[in-house]
Amino acid sequence: MIAKIGQLSIFLALISAICALVLSALYSKKIYFITDDKVKLASIMQFLFILFSYFLLTYSYVISDFSIINVWQNSHTAKPLVYKITGVWGNHEGSILLWVLILTFMSFLISIFSQEMNKSLKVRVLGIQSIVTIAFLLFVILTSNPFLTQFPTPLNGLGLNPVLQDPGLIIHPPFLYLGYVGFSIVFSFGVAGLLENCIDSKWARWVYPWTIISWSSLTIGITIGSWWAYYELGWGGWWFWDPVENVSLLPWLTGTALVHSMMVVRNINSLKSWTILLSIMTFLFSLLGTFLVRSGILVSVHSFAVDPRRGLFMLFILSFFTISSLVIFAIKSPKPDYHIEYRKLGREGLIILNNLLLVVLCSVVFVGTLYPLLLETVSGIKISVGPPYFNITFLPFAFILMFFVPIGPFLNWKKTDLSKLINLILLALIVNGVLFILLYAFIHEKGPTLAPFSIALGLWLIAGSFVAIIKRFNLSEKGVIKNIARIKLLKIGSSLAHAGLGVLIVGVTIVTAYEIKTDRVFELHQKIKLADFQIQYNGISPNIGKNYDEIVANFLIFKSEDKIGSTSSTKRFYRSQDTMTTEAGIYRHFFSHIYITLSDINEEYIVATISYKPFVRLIWLGGFLMAFGGLVSLVDSKGRLRS
């Protein structure tokens, strides 16, 4: 019964989406009895029907209704409740339903909270969103129905992939999808703006908050995914250039360029065609990532094993939106603003350079990810593209980008006073030098030649952001508190995001250049020296979880003969899946980690890999700081929009 109601709810959502599309088209034709309220109502109904179906699927997981094939394949009676709930999106069918839920939720938000927006533009946006919704609802109904049933009903389920039974599953996919799907709103605004011929600074002010929300969400999703892989997979790496990681990076890079180009449209009403093209490409990259993961083309720890029909359907969706949006862009795109002079000392000129470098970086990742697939398809030759390729091709352009990023906030639009710019750069260089000296006071090992250069670039980003924030305090006027209150959160937000990138770069460089790693055999109570620490193996102990058994290896951490803490690494056996996993032991010492994984374990000795990862926590701190900076910018952009 639950399955039938869930399927009916999905069909009703499809009908609502079709109604929203038809009503939107009729409204654009000026049919007098078609109002924007009817379009909004149809959009709201899409969301409510999908929300109800998603609730039913979640309820089926909670009560372990194994008559539903999706529940039987991905759940178990012994699975903890939190993973029954979050396990809904730990599989293909459930994750696509979550995708559609977020998609319709975006339309719901536009319908409810954009009362001051131009009605014609809003209706266009809702209509285009409905097209996207229809495409994915058809994908669900025809190839990925989460409510298919079976008879007789099995007594128990097959269980969820053990790697997914982790808190990372609770946070990572929703934020990642919020980023991917959020860019659908930006896409819809872009195409609607072309059709309405209203691409201007006012349009940019409406779209900018959605761009920031999507970019910040995607940043959080990628950051959490990096942390999850770091501690769960037991490799101890923060980024593997895995193909599925790469396809999440593609919309992030173009989305970053979009955030900056949107500022140009909003402030000086220029760069409009390029901004529209970026909004289209960012969403298309989101669809490309979905296609590659759902088609089974990519072999990855992230990808789902699916049948070819799903890949073909996703390819059709990708092709349809690519061709249709680019044709509309070719016909309706605004004429370039040839009358605007991009001076060398204008912020818009540096943003253009920023966009160019980001697109080059995106192209490097795109080629490195897709070329092996195309080569294998055409010739049957299999090649592997990994870190060596990306280090050679990606890093040089990234270094150039990092050098120019801190200078942007020092510039004014169109024209900047050269003497003031030089003073700000000199101040940033002084701060950079102080930070560099302070940081290297904590680094005693000798690393690669390029490490100090990369660290200096990261600190340059932090120093430039600090000086940019100080610049906002116009202390020439009376009253420091008055001037503090007048600081624009938008400008502080961008500086925080730039500083976050600098923190990330510093963390990546230090842990890559100065990590100490060794494989050792531990006997009971034996101590092994690692950097300034000593790690003592303190025996094993068994533990029984709700759906797994594990053997825990315990370690004590010493520094200068003083015990400072403890950690444990485990071998975990999941009973229902008959699967063994390794859980890393991580001891946190300020911004650094001692990271321990087990290779072999018995009563007499263990074999373990131990690593000292200096300043590794800066990687995720930087990612979250970037996202936080974006959200701070969002607060001020709302105030600007109201004014």
| Whether residue 520 is found in the same domain as residue 510 | no
User: Which is more confidently placed, 56 or 115?
Assistant: 56
User: Which residue did the predictor score with more confidence, 379 or 320?
Assistant: 320
146: pLDDT strictly greater than 90: yes
Kindly state whether residue 273 falls inside one of the protein's structural domains.
no
Q: In which band, very low, low, confident or very high, does the pLDDT at 243 lie, cut at 50, 70 and 90? A: confident
| Cα separation values, 83 from 248, 376, 488, 581, Å | 24, 38, 42, 17
The predicted pLDDT at position 476 comes to 42
For the residues 594-610, what does the mean pLDDT come to?
89
Dmax of the chain from CA atoms? 84
At which of 165, 196, 226 does a domain end? 165
pLDDT confidence tier of residue 12, bands split at 50, 70 and 90: very high
What average pLDDT does the structure give for the chain? Answer: 88
pLDDT category of residue 579 using cuts at 50, 70 and 90: confident
Q: Which two tokens stand for residue 222?
A: 């990628």
The answer as to whether 174 is a domain residue is no
CA dist., res. 259 & res. 639, Å (int) = 18
Average pLDDT over residues 417-434: 87
Ramachandran region, residue 553 (left: φ > 0; alpha: ψ -120 to 50; beta: rest): beta
Looking at the fold, whether 143 and 25 belong to one and the same domain comes out as: yes
Report residue 631 CA to chain centroid gap: 14
466 and 608 assigned to the same domain: no
Range of weakest confidence among 179-188, 229-238, 293-302: 293-302
Q: How confident is the model at residue 341 (pLDDT cuts 50, 70, 90)?
A: low
| Per-residue pLDDT at 488 exceeds 60 | no
From the CA atom positions of the chain, what is the Rg in Å?
Answer: 26
Contact 264, 270 (CB under 8 A): yes
Q: Name the band, by pLDDT with cuts 50, 70 and 90, for residue 479.
A: very low
In the predicted structure, residue 165 carries a pLDDT above the cut 60: yes
In this predicted structure, what is the pLDDT of residue 577?
75
Judged by average pLDDT, the poorest of 112-116, 228-232, 543-547 is 112-116
> Do 442 and 524 reside in the same domain of the chain?
no
Residue 485 has pLDDT above 50, yes or no: no
Residues in Cβ contact with 569 at an 8 Å cutoff, skipping those fewer than 6 apart: 552, 553, 555, 582, 583, 584, 585, 596, 597, 598, 608
Q: What is the pLDDT of residues 276-330, one digit of tens each?
A: 999 999 999 999 988 888 766 665 545 554 567 888 898 999 999 999 999 999 9
Q: Specify whether 590 is located in the same domain as 447.
A: no
113 or 369, higher pLDDT: 369
Q: What is the pLDDT of residue 473?
A: 63
pLDDT at 443 over 80: no
**Are 466 and 568 in a shared domain?**
no
In angstroms, the CA 529 to CA 531 distance is 7
Query: Per-residue DSSP letters for 478-519?
Result: S-HHHHHHT--HHHHHHHHHHHHHHHHHHHHHHHHHH-EEEE
Instruction: Lowest mean pLDDT of 43-52, 63-72, 461-470, name the range.
Output: 461-470
* CB contact at 8 A, 265 and 199: yes
Which pair of tokens denotes residue 511? 């842990």
Which single residue is written with the structure tokens 């068994």?
542
DSSP assignment string, 290-328: HHHHHHT-S--SS-----HHHHHHHHHHHHHHHHHHHHH
**Angle, to 10 degrees, between the axis of helix 272-295 and the axis of helix 201-232?**
30
Q: How far is CA 66 from CA 149, 154, 488, in A?
A: 8, 6, 54
User: How far is Cα 641 from Cα 495, in angstroms, rounded to an integer?
Assistant: 21
How many CB atoms within 10 Å of residue 30? Answer: 8
Q: Is the peptide bond before 251 cis (omega within 30 degrees of 0)?
A: no
pLDDT bracket for residue 643 (50, 70, 90):
very low
Q: Judge whether 189 lies within some domain.
A: no
Which has more pLDDT, 618 or 411? 618
How sure is the predictor about 482, in pLDDT bands with cuts at 50, 70 and 90? Answer: very low
If you count DSSP H runs as helices and E runs as strands, how many of each does the chain have, helices first? 18, 9
Per mean pLDDT, which of 9-23, 336-350, 595-609 is the most reliable?
9-23
Backbone dihedral angles phi then psi of residue 546, each to the nearest 5 degrees: -65, -40
Q: Exposure of 142 by Cβ count < 10 A (0-12 exposed, 13-18 middle, 19+ buried)? A: exposed
- Pair 14, 60 in one domain: yes
Q: How far apart are CA 637 and CA 643, in angstroms?
A: 10
CA distance 50 to 40: 16
242-251 mean pLDDT? 91
CA distances from 436 to 398, 495, 592 (A): 20, 19, 18
Q: Which two tokens stand for residue 496?
A: 């925080």
Residue 574 confidence (pLDDT): 87
pTM of the model: 0.92
Chosen domain end from 131, 165, 199: 165
Strands 548-559 and 533-544 come out as antiparallel
Q: So what's the pLDDT on residue 638?
A: 53
Residue found under tokens 């909270």:
113
Q: In this structure, what are the phi and psi dihedrals at residue 572, rounded to the nearest 5 degrees?
A: -115, 130
Domain end among 127, 147, 165: 165
Asked whether the predicted pLDDT for residue 373 surpasses 50, the reply is: yes
> Same domain, yes or no, for 73 and 130?
yes
Q: Is residue 525 part of a domain?
A: yes
Whole-number pLDDT of residue 98: 95
Average pLDDT of the residues in 202-216: 94
The two structure tokens encoding residue 54 = 């998603």
- The Cα-based distances of 228 to 113, 164, 194, 237 in angstroms read 34, 10, 40, 10
Same domain, 592 and 477: no
Q: Is pLDDT of 481 > 60?
A: no
How much is the pLDDT for 342?
53
- Only one residue has tokens 């904590």, namely 442
Q: Residue written as tokens 């990994």?
A: 386
pLDDT of residue 613: 94
Whether 576 has a pLDDT exceeding 70, the answer reads: yes
Residue 102, classed as helix, strand or coil, is helix
Tokens of 128: 């285009």
- The residue segments making up the domain with residue 84 are 1-165
**Nearest 5°: phi and psi at 533?**
-115, 165
- E strand or H helix at 563, and its extent? strand 562-574
Structural element, H or E, at residue 552 = strand 548-559
Of 625 and 299, the one with more pLDDT: 625
Residue 344 CA: distances (Å) to CA of 349, 352, 420, 581: 6, 11, 15, 56
- CA proximity to 46, closest of 104, 7, 132: 104
| Residues counted in the chain | 643
**pLDDT given at position 483:** 46
pLDDT at residue 116 greater than cutoff 80: no
Assigned domain for 243 exists: no
* pLDDT value of position 478: 45
pLDDT of residue 167 exceeding 70, the answer is yes
CB 284 within 8 A of CB 365: no
- Quick one: 458 and 523 in the same domain? no
Any residues with CB less than 8 A from the CB of 380 and at least 6 apart, and which?
Answer: none
What is the pLDDT averaged over residues 508-536? 92
Judge whether 613 and 236 are in contact, CB under 8 Å: yes
pLDDT at 160: 83
- Does the pLDDT value for residue 28 go beyond 70? yes
Number of domains in the chain: 3
Regarding whether 482 and 526 lie in a shared domain, the answer is no
In a domain, 593, yes or no: yes
User: Strands 548-559, 562-574: parallel, antiparallel or unpaired by DSSP?
Assistant: antiparallel
Please tell me whether residues 592 and 464 are part of one structural domain: no
Alpha-carbon span 262 to 207, nearest angstrom: 8
The verdict on residue 304 lying in a domain is no
CA neighbor of 534 nearest in space, from 512, 505, 565, 507 = 565
- For the chain, percent of residues with pLDDT exceeding 70: 92
Per-residue pLDDT band at 381 (split at 50, 70, 90): confident
Rounded distance, CA 178 to CA 221, Å?
A: 9
Separation of first and last alpha carbons in the chain: 51
Residue 158 belongs to a domain: yes
